[in-house]
Structure 1
C-alpha cells in the first residue's frame, strides 16, 4: 500500500511541477546535449518509469527506446536524472573491456547503499580508485585465490551431503514432492559462512548467519525507495526505514562477535598464524586514506564486506533453481546429464571430476544464458572528473550507465532459436563452444559482468553450481508434480528469481535402477 501512496504522490507532484521544470530542462539541455539520444523530458512520467523498473517492466521500455533511438540511448527517470543504456554487444565490449578504466566507476551511492556498505567500503559500491583496488585485490588474491579454494572442500562436501539428506527428508514427509529453494540456500550459505568466518564456525553460528542473511536478501530490494529524496522517503516509508536500521544493527550484533573471535585467534597465534577465512585477511588489511596514510578496517566496514560476500548466495541459488527447473521439464537432457555424471560418480560426486563433465558445464552455461541473475549489470559511471566518451557521446561523471545483459544473451545473431533451452550450444560445434564468459575477447553473454568491475566470485560460484547440480541429478530423478507444470515466470528481488519456487517430484536414483 505504501508503495502506491509514494508513486501517486510522486506522479501528482511531477505533473504539478512539470511546467516549472520545463524551463530548467531546456536550460540543462545545452549542458547535456552530448548524451546519447532519447526523450528530452519525461518529467510527468518519471515515476511511472521508476514503478516499471521495480516491476521488471523497464525491459519493455528499454526495448521500445532502442527501436526508436538505436543501441545507445538516454532515458530520464526524473528531469535531472538521466540514465544511459547500452543495448549492443559490440558497444558494451568497447566500453567495458577495451576502455574499461574510463567507465569503471559507480554512480553516486544511494542512502541505503551507504548504510549497508559502511559508506561505500565494499567492493561493489566503492569508487574506482585505491580503496576499491585494495579491497578487490585482497578478495581475489586471498580468499578467492585458486590456491585457497581447496581449503573449503570439506565444507562443500558437507553442504552437498546435507542437501541430499534434506531433499530425502522432504521427499519422505511430503509424498515425494520437494521445494528445494530453502535447502539450496542452506547448502550455499554453509559454504560461504565457512569461507567468511572460518572452518571452526559451529552449527549455531552458521544457523544465525544463515537466518539473518536470508532475511536481509528478502527485504533489501525494498530499501531502493530511499534512493530518491531520502528526506521525503524516510517519512513516507518510516516503517521500512526503521526496518532498514534494525537490519543493520542486527548484522553488527551477529557478525561482530565472529569478527572479534577471528581477531583474537590471530593475536593468539602471532607469527605462526595461517589465514583460515576471509575475515582473517580483512583483519590484517590496511586501506589507503586520501591523505596518503593507511589504516585498518573498522568492525563496521568488515561487516559490510562480509555481507557482500554472503550475498553471493542469492545469485548462486537462483542459477541452481533455474537449472533444475529446466532439467525437470526436459527429461531427455536430465537423462543425458545423469549418464555423464555416472561415468565418474559411482558414489558421491567428486569435485575434481567436474572439469571432465562437458555436458554438465553446458547445462549450467545454458541456464545462465536463459536466466541471468539480473537483466542489467550493476550501473557503471565515468571515472574521470570530466566524464568520458561512450561511442561518440559524452557522458558526465555521475550519470549511470546500464548494460542490457539479458537481451545480449538472447541475440539471434549469436544464439539461434534463443528462447529454447539447448545445452548443446556449448559443446563442440555449437555457437557457444568457444565462449569466453568474462567477455574479454567478445561479449556473447556476460552473466557475471565484464571488465574491471566483473564479479570476482565467478569461479567459486560456478564451482558451487556445477557441484550441487551434479549432486542432485546423481542422487535423484526429477520430474514435474502431476497436474502442476513448472512456472517459469520470473520476478525481481535482489536478483531475478522464480516467482513461484520450484516444486518437483523426486525419486531416489537407486529406486529407478
Structure 2
C-alpha cells in the first residue's frame, strides 16, 4: 500500500519533469533571439530619461562591435532588432521582402498624427498601403508627371538664388544656407501638394506647423510607453500636440476644399495635377469604397511635404558643405557644367543633368557619407521568421542602420572620407544600385518593398539645385572659419553647425 501511495504521489512530479524536459528540448531546437544587453537596465534608462530611439546610435555601435551584426534591445514589450550588416539587410528587405514589409502598430503621438496609420509610411502592409503608394507613384512621382513640374522647379530656383543674393549683400558675402534651402524645398513641395503658388506668409505658416509637430513627435517618445498613463502625467504636452494637429487641419482643409472646387478647364496649360487632386479620387475598396476623410487627406499631405523637405534640404547642405571644403571638387563640377551647357548658359536645364557624371558622383558620395536618415522606419514581420539563424518574432521592430552600411570598410576604402571618385569607372561605387535589388552597398532611400518612392524625385532635385548653385556662384569658406562636418540630429541628420559660406557671382 505504501508503495502504491508513493507511486501515486510521484506521478504529478514525473509529469511536470516530462513537460519541462520536452519544453527544454523544443527550446534547444527553436532559434534564439539575436543577442542583446540585459532587459531591465536598458528599459529603465529609456523610460526615465525619455530618450528617443534615434539617440541610441553610439550605444548600438558598441553592441554590434561586441555581439555581432544583429542585436536585440527590449525598449518596450516587443523586442527591437537592429541590423547593421548590408548582406543581412539584403536578405531581409529584398530576398524576403514580403515577410519584412509590414510596419509595427503606431504608438502615440504617431497614431494620432497619422489618422491611425492612414499614411503611406506607417500604413500596415496590405491593400490600403498598396493603393496609397500606387496613387503616389503613378499620379505624382512617375517621370512623366515629375517633368510637368519643371516650371515649378525654375520658379523655386529663382526664389532660392534671390534669397542667397539678398543675404550675401547684408553680410559681406556670407550666407547661412540651411533656412533658405528648407524654404525653397518647402515651396516646391507645397506647390506639388496643393497645386497652387501660395504667398510667402501662407507657406511660412504651413512650414511652421509642419516643423512644430515633427519636433513634438521626436521630443516626446514617452507617449509610446503606457499612453493612457503618460497622457495624464504629461497632460500639458499632450494637449500641445492635439492643439497643433487642430491648427494643421484648420490650415490644410480649406486648401483641400478649394482645390476640390476648382474646375479643370480643357486646354488650361497652367493646370498640373497636384497630390491633393489625386487624393480626391481615391476610394478604399476594403472599406466599402468610401473616399478618404479630410483628416486622412491632411495626414497624407503632411507626410508628402515632410518626406521631401528636410531630407532633401539636409542632403543639399551636406553636398554644398563638402564642395566648400573641397574647392578642387567644386571646380570640377563647374568645369563639367561648362563643357555640357557652354559658358553663356544662364541656367542648367534638367535634360543637361544626364551628361554630368561627376556631378552625379558628388551627389552619390554625399548620400553615402551623409545619409539624411541613419535609420529607415522600423519594419516588422507578420509571422515568426529567421534571419542569420536567429528568431525574428512576430511583431518585433526590425531596424536597419543605413549609415553603417554606407560606411562599411569591406566595401568602401577610407569610408569616412568624401571621395566622389568612388563612383567613377573602376571605383567601388561604379554602377551602384540605389534600390539595392542586386546588392546593398548603400541604402539612403531604404530598400525592398518599403523603399522610399521619392528616390527619383530626390535625385533630380539634388542634381538640379547643386548644379545651378555651383553655376550661379563660387562658394568659399566664411572668413576665418573651417567647414565643420559634425552631425546634429533632429528628425533627419543635419550639420551641428549649419554651413556658413561666402558666395560670389561665378565668372563664366
Relative to the length of structure 2, the TM-score reads: 0.89
* Structure 2 unmatched ranges of 5 or more: 1-23
The equivalent residue for 2:98 is 101
Cα distance, 1:55–1:381 mapped onto 2, change above 3 Å: closer
SS at match of 2:476: strand
Bigger CA drift: 37-46 or 367-376? Answer: 37-46
Deviations 1:81-128, CA, capped at 9 Å, x for gaps: 311111211111010001100010011211111111111000001000
Contact 1:52 1:58 survives alignment (8 Å): no
The equivalent residue for 2:289 is 294
The equivalent residue for 2:186 is 189
SS at match of 1:104: coil
> For residues 500 and 325 of structure 2, what CA distance do their matches in structure 1 show?
11
What does residue range 39-438 of structure 1 map to in structure 2 within 5 Å? 39=36, 41-48=38-45, 54=52, 58-78=56-76, 80-199=77-196, 201-266=198-263, 276-289=273-286, 293-311=288-306, 312-345=308-341, 346-382=345-381, 384=382, 386-438=383-435
The equivalent residue for 1:14 is none
* Structure 1 unmatched ranges of 5 or more: 1-26
Contact 1:103 1:388 survives alignment (8 Å): no
Bigger CA drift: 253-262 or 233-242? Answer: 233-242
1:479: Cα distance to partner? Answer: 1.6
Query: Which of 437, 447, 450 does residue 447 from structure 2 map onto?
Result: 450
Cα distance, 1:258–1:459 mapped onto 2, change above 3 Å: same
> For residues 31 and 160 of structure 1, what CA distance do their matches in structure 2 show?
62
1:67: Cα distance to partner? Answer: 2.6
1:220: Cα distance to partner? Answer: 3.3
Deviations 1:317-362, CA, capped at 9 Å, x for gaps: 0000111111111111111111112223421121111111111111
> For residues 316 and 119 of structure 1, what CA distance do their matches in structure 2 show?
27
SS at match of 1:344: helix
Deviations 1:284-315, CA, capped at 9 Å, x for gaps: 1112335xx22100000000000000002010
- State which structure, 1 or 2, has the greater radius of gyration over its C-alpha atoms: 2
SS at match of 2:175: strand
The equivalent residue for 1:6 is none
SS at match of 1:111: coil
> For residues 448 and 465 of structure 1, what CA distance do their matches in structure 2 show?
14
1:53: Cα distance to partner? Answer: 5.8
Bigger CA drift: 244-253 or 476-485? Answer: 476-485
> For residues 500 and 235 of structure 2, what CA distance do their matches in structure 1 show?
36
Relative to the length of structure 1, the TM-score reads: 0.88
SS at match of 1:43: helix
1:251: Cα distance to partner? Answer: 1.0
1:272: Cα distance to partner? Answer: 11
Cα distance, 1:272–1:353 mapped onto 2, change above 3 Å: closer
Contact 1:55 1:491 survives alignment (8 Å): no
The equivalent residue for 2:463 is 466
Bigger CA drift: 181-190 or 226-235? Answer: 226-235
The equivalent residue for 1:8 is none
> For residues 167 and 32 of structure 1, what CA distance do their matches in structure 2 show?
64
